[in-house]
Amino acid sequence: MPEVTLEEHLHEVKDHEAAKLISEIARMSVDIRMEFPQRMAAKKGEENKYGEMAEELDVWTNNFYCEEFKKSGLVRAVYSEELKTPVRFSEDAPFVVTIDPLDGSSNIRSNNPIGAIIGIYRKEIPTTGRSLVASLYKQYGPMTTLVYTAGKGVHEFVKFRKGKMRYCLVEENIRVPEPGKVYGMGGSPLKWIPKFREFVKYMEEEKKMKLRYCGTFVGDFNQVLHYGGMFAYPALIDKPEGKLRLFYEGIPMANIIEKAGGLSSNGKISLLDIECEDPDARTPLYVGSKELILELVERLRR
Ligand code: AFP
């Protein structure tokens, strides 16, 4: 297959400013990935707004993105899982971005896959996911990959080290396989709502699906995008809103799975249709193959 770089592929994106921002975000991976080894066993940073101990690398990565976004001149506001309030730059810049700058950072010490999740809007937040211009995630695994949608299809690239940094196309117009093969769930099974626990049993015993879970949403999502099935961080008995963040994690990834022919849900409706005023809101999250998500929503409704 002829080598197609990310920059060449982005020529197909009608919104040229969005294409430029996606290319800028891809370039940032070089400096970010180089920070990992020296901070692997870093001490815990300070407590974040959710009362969780942010890793030092969370804080560094967030600051790096904010500095680079400001320099790009393309971003007027950054909403981040690591910021108590959004940081604002020049008001005439075209985009507002939501970022989970380092998803899965509690997995750094164990060298599990980690990643970044980014939503790109022209409109102000809060808004629904339907107004996303583009969304993307980067996975820092054995290889650095980037998956994006700018509205027309979902496309995956892998970063080559040779020569100047470039991402090359691995697969374009990715479709979530039906039926799916794998499932993964966050949290403690003892805390999942009973109807979801029953559905997990159904996936195991009736659907004969295989458990695949790495503890990072980006890694667990990526498996479902490629092999089909479901990733869930469900509603919990003591926390009906679940753990994952609607704007920083759920909406950008829901956009990708749905543009790839899959579905997302909070147990009732698509994450892209949730109207929410709170940028820090959490949501129960179910994403995956369309038929499986429809079955789950039906069973949760009973
Ligand atoms: P961290 O970024 O604090 O590691 O949280 C990662 C995450 O938000 C998401 O990537 C995982 O799916 C989920 O948390 C795992 O949560 P549990 O450790 O509660 O299963």
Pocket of ligand 1 contains residue 139 by CB under 6 Å: no
Pocket of ligand 1 contains residue 105 by CB under 6 Å: yes
Give the distance from CA 151 to its chain's centroid.
Answer: 16
pLDDT in the model for residue 108: 84
Measure the N-to-C terminal CA separation of the chain; round to a whole number of Å.
48
> What distance in angstroms lies between residue 215's CA and the mean position of ligand 1's atoms?
6
> What distance in angstroms lies between residue 104's CA and the mean position of ligand 1's atoms?
5
Domains detected in the chain? 6-171 (3.30.540.10), 182-301 (3.40.190.80)
Q: Give the CA radius of gyration of the chain.
A: 18
pTM: 0.95
Pocket of ligand 1 contains residue 103 by CB under 6 Å: yes
Pocket of ligand 1 contains residue 223 by CB under 6 Å: no
> What distance in angstroms lies between residue 163's CA and the mean position of ligand 1's atoms?
35
Read off the tokens for 273: 């249709």
pLDDT in the model for residue 103: 96
Matching residue, tokens 């996606």: 22
Among 218, 233, 248, residue to substitute to test ligand 1 (most atoms within 8 Å of Cβ): 233
DSSP string of 52-65, one letter each residue:
-EEEHHHHHHHHHH
Give the distance from CA 235 to its chain's centroid.
Answer: 19
Pocket of ligand 1 contains residue 282 by CB under 6 Å: no
Nearest to 136 by CA among 243, 246, 21: 21
pLDDT in the model for residue 40: 73
Nearest to 243 by CA among 191, 283, 272: 283
DSSP 42: P
Nearest to 77 by CA among 123, 15, 27: 123
> What distance in angstroms lies between residue 107's CA and the mean position of ligand 1's atoms?
8
Per-residue pLDDT of the chain (302 residues; tens, 9 = 90+): 578 999 999 999 999 999 999 999 999 998 999 888 887 766 566 666 776 666 788 999 999 999 999 999 999 999 999 999 999 999 999 999 999 999 998 888 889 999 999 999 999 999 999 999 999 999 999 999 999 999 999 999 999 876 567 899 999 999 999 999 999 999 999 999 999 999 999 999 999 999 999 999 999 999 999 999 999 999 999 999 999 999 999 999 999 999 999 999 999 999 999 999 999 999 999 999 999 999 999 999 98
Read off the tokens for 138: 């980067």
Give the nearest ligand 1 atom to 55 CA: 3
Phi, psi dihedral angles at 2 (to 5 degrees): -60, 145
Q: Which residue, by CA, sits nearest to atom 2 of ligand 1?
A: 104
DSSP 11: T
**Spatial distance between the Cα atoms of 136 and 29, rounded to a whole number of angstroms:** 13
**Spatial distance between the Cα atoms of 53 and 44, rounded to a whole number of angstroms:** 6
Q: Which residue, by CA, sits nearest to atom 17 of ligand 1?
A: 187
Read off the tokens for 77: 């506001």
